[in-house]
Chain A
Amino acid sequence: MSTGEPDAIVVDGLVKRFGAFVAVDHVSFAVAPGEIMGFLGPNGAGKSTIIRILCGLFAPTEGHVRVSGIDVATDPEGVRARIGYMSQKFSLYRDLTVLENLTFFAGIYGVRRRARAERIGYAVEMAGLGGREGQRVATLSGGWQQRLALGCAILHRPRILFLDEPTSGVEPMARRRFWDLIHALAEDGVSVLVSTHYMDEAEYCDRVALINHGRLVAVDTPGALKRAGGGRPLFVIEPADLGAALAALAGAAGIASASVYGGTLHVAAADPHYDAADLAALFAERGVEPGRIEPTAPSLEDVFVDLVASDTRTGGRAA
């Protein structure tokens, strides 16, 4: 999605320590204008901390962060005027109505009086909240609340949006609708940095950053990540006895990982040249019936599990 314009977000060697705990460990990446960058990683991996630093809510311990060309450390207010933010915890005023929340944030963001009605009208329409302007936010369901929060975050036409797990706890249809809105904004050139723990949502992103223990494990398009698959061939087997098959694979030479997916096993080989015949030979040697063996393309989840597992094993030295 690179358009040759300067990057909207540039993060270089970012480190954040809380006492002895390293929450963010030398993270570097960039987001282009109009690009949707997904943050994927386990809970506590540091996704929220990075986003909060980018919004100026935490001061970075080391490294440089430029948002819209402005250094967050030296001019946080300049950054705050140019971004929209949706925090992980729902943070609109529940005791106010939809319209009162929108009016409040329009005022806070300094939206000009003449533009205000138009911007609020746009946000209401975008969020599909027409007819509910007078409703107290506390009485809205999760999906409506999330769309209203997005509506409040874009009142001042920010060119950069930070969305921290915006769809957590929202039902699938509402999540789908929310992603349509994100895509529409990106079409207009807004850069979106969105964190999620839903694997399927990572597929909607232009690029995905995998984050584990505060480290950036991989950054690439979902397609490229899957193709690379950590460079490892992946097989699906359907053994009659899952336990025996797992035991046979444990510690076997040439096998990187084996994980259960329903009634099947996903087996990743360590050697790129490992093939189905090698796997069949392994099972024959151990006297276990593997059932059907099929090479398969890794899903993003496979890649994620594999990368996180190897990153955790090596403590990031291989990444």
Chain B
Amino acid sequence: MRAKRLLAIARKEVLQIVRDPRSLMIALLMPFLQMFLLGYGISLDLKHVPVCVFDRERSQTSEDLVARFEASAYFAVTRRLSQYAELTDAIDRRACVLALVIPPDFSERLAADGTAPVQAILDATDTNTATIAYGYAANVLARYSAEIGETERARQGETASLFVPVEVDSRVWFNEDLESRNFIIPGLVAVILALVGAQLTALTIAREWERGTMELLISTPVTATELMVGKLAPYLVLGWAVSVLCLLLAVFWFAVPFRGTIGTIFVTTTLFLLVVIGIGYLVSALIRDQLGASQVALIATILPANLLSGYIFPIDQMPAAVQAITYLVYTRYYVEIVKAVFLKGSGLAALALPVVFLAVYAAAVLALAALAFRKRLR
């Protein structure tokens, strides 16, 4: 590898990037837009789930229960119904996700038996939402009945201390507020870098074949490695710029807590960028036409990055066969790393496994890319 030739290529590549301000703007603007669209568009939190109440008793006790739902941040009691038919209609029109039916003898049975049934009807067309809403509702009801039991025992003059049930004092670590944004945004940074990085370099070789400049270039003594390193170096710098942009947005705009060190994020991001720009270069060297290379790079990155990286869909909940495939998805390692660096403040030692995987991946992709480039015409 000769520094002179490498520098000549890097310098030329920079000039061409600068001469094409539209492409440069797209490279910087796209991540910006994606951060905002997806950062705001995706939330797995359920808040203010619309609840319809069909209270057939309308007693103080039943109102007390409804008040618990109103007080919860997860629910919003939007409608009071007076007929069962209205309830079916409300569910059908998605006016509410949860309908609560309180029987006419609610307080009576509660007083007599110490227990009373309450019906919760859920719209399960969106099973995920229904499951979570059901969980929250069960929670509200459990607390309510615990309190009733407490007051009942107190009323009967028993000492409360004898009846303290096992209490779970749960403490959530790393994402204390259980904000889904806090784990989605760091993953989003990874997905955006995967897409943009591969797109940046997918055109670099194909463009030269299409314009005919490659024919002259391969008639010179330049080597495949010099060409690759010289061409990728400017894109690595551009990739750093995009990363900084995305990470700054995550920390300062979306207020995701950043507990790691700049050093860890720099090292791991660089490794990841090497993989993604290497993939783009590899595709470009193999396909030799701009449209084809761009399409292949898009498909090769967008699907695995979105579905199999664990950025939204947790990998440990996937079928075993799919989980096995995710080990090939380089974005999964970086998603894991960025989430851990952001939320847990993990250092390189704690992240040794994914970091090593990324490093091996980078080395393999770059070696393949250098080999894939042939100084021959077809």
Task: Say whether B2 contacts A57, CB under 8 Å.
Answer: no
**A80-B219, A108-B220 are known contacts. Are A93 and B9 too (CB-CB below 8 A)?**
no
| A100 interface residue (CB < 8 Å to B) | yes
Interface size class of chain A, counting residues whose CB lies under 8 Å from the partner chain: 20 to 34
Residues of B within 8 A of A56 (CB): 219, 375
B16 and A107 form a contact (CB under 8 A): no
A181 close to chain B: CB less than 8 A: no
Known contacts A91-B213, A108-B220, A110-B2: does B15 contact A96 (CB below 8 Å)? yes
Q: A100-B12, A104-B12, A110-B5 are in contact. Are A87 and B375 (CB under 8 A)?
A: no
Residue A109 lies at the interface, judged by CB distance under 8 Å to chain B: yes
Interface 1/0 per residue, A84-123 and B, CB below 8 Å: 0111011111111000100111111110000000000000
A98 to chain B, nearest CB (A): 13
Q: Is A59 an interface residue (CB 8 A)?
A: yes
| A83 located at the interface, meaning its Cβ lies under 8 Å from any Cβ of chain B in the complex | yes
Q: Do residues B377 and A52 form an inter-chain contact, with CB atoms below 8 A?
A: yes
Is the Cβ of A107 less than 8 Å from the Cβ of B15? no
CB-based contact A76/B375 at 8 Å: yes
CA distance A94 to B15 in the complex (A): 12
Bound-state CA distance A1–B223 (Å) is 35
Chain B residues near A55 (CB, 8 Å)?
219
User: In angstroms, how far is the closest chain A Cβ from the Cβ of B265?
Assistant: 35
Contacts of B215 in A (CB 8 A): 57, 87, 89, 91
Report B-chain residues with C-beta under 8 Å of the C-beta of A100: 12, 15
Contact A96 B221 (CB under 8 A): no
* Residue from the list B15, B16, B220, B375 in contact with A109, Cβ < 8 A: B220
Alpha-carbon gap, A94 to B218, bound state (A): 18
B126 proximal to A (CB < 8 A)? no
Q: For the complex, is A228 an interface residue (Cβ under 8 Å from B)?
A: no
The residue in chain B whose Cβ has the minimal distance to the Cβ of A49 is B377
User: Which listed residue, B12, B375, B376, touches A93 by the CB 8 Å rule?
Assistant: B12
Q: What is the interface residue range for chain B against chain A?
A: 20 to 34
CA distance A76 to B15 in the complex (A): 29
Q: C-beta contact mask, B216-249 vs A, less than 8 Å → 1, else 0?
A: 1111111100000000000000000000000000
Partner of A96, one of B12, B218, B219, B376: B12
Roughly how many angstroms separate A96 CA and B219 CA in the complex, as a whole number?
Answer: 20
Tell me if A107 and B11 are in contact (CB < 8 A): yes
Per-residue contact bits, chain A 44-88, to B (CB 8 Å; 1 contact, 0 not): 000000001001111100000000000000001100110101110
Asked whether B11 lies within 8 Å of A104 as measured between CB atoms, the reply is yes
Determine the distance from Cα of A106 to Cα of B375 in the docked complex, in whole angstroms. Answer: 19
B124 at the interface (CB under 8 A from A): no
Closest B residue by C-beta to A77: B221
B19 within 8 A of A: yes
B20 sits at the interface (CB 8 A)? yes
A93:B16 contact, CB within 8 angstroms: yes
Known A-B contacts A95-B16, A107-B11; the reply to A89 vs B212 at CB < 8 A is yes
By a CB distance below 8 angstroms, the chain B residues around A86 are 216
B9 in contact with A108 (CB, 8 Å): yes
- Which of chain B's residues 278-296 have a Cβ closer than 8 Å to chain A? none
Contact call B16/A87, Cβ cutoff below 8 A: no
Chain A CB within 8 A of B8 CB: yes
Any chain A CB within 8 A of the CB of B7?
Answer: yes
Please list 15 pairs of residues, one from A and one from B, whose beta carbons are closer than 8 Å in the complex, sorted by A's number. Answer: A55-B219, A56-B219, A56-B375, A59-B376, A77-B223, A85-B219, A91-B216, A92-B213, A92-B216, A95-B16, A96-B15, A100-B15, A105-B8, A107-B8, A108-B220
Please name the 4 residue pairs, one residue from A and one from B, whose CB atoms are nearest each other, closest first. Answer: A107-B8, A91-B216, A89-B212, A85-B219
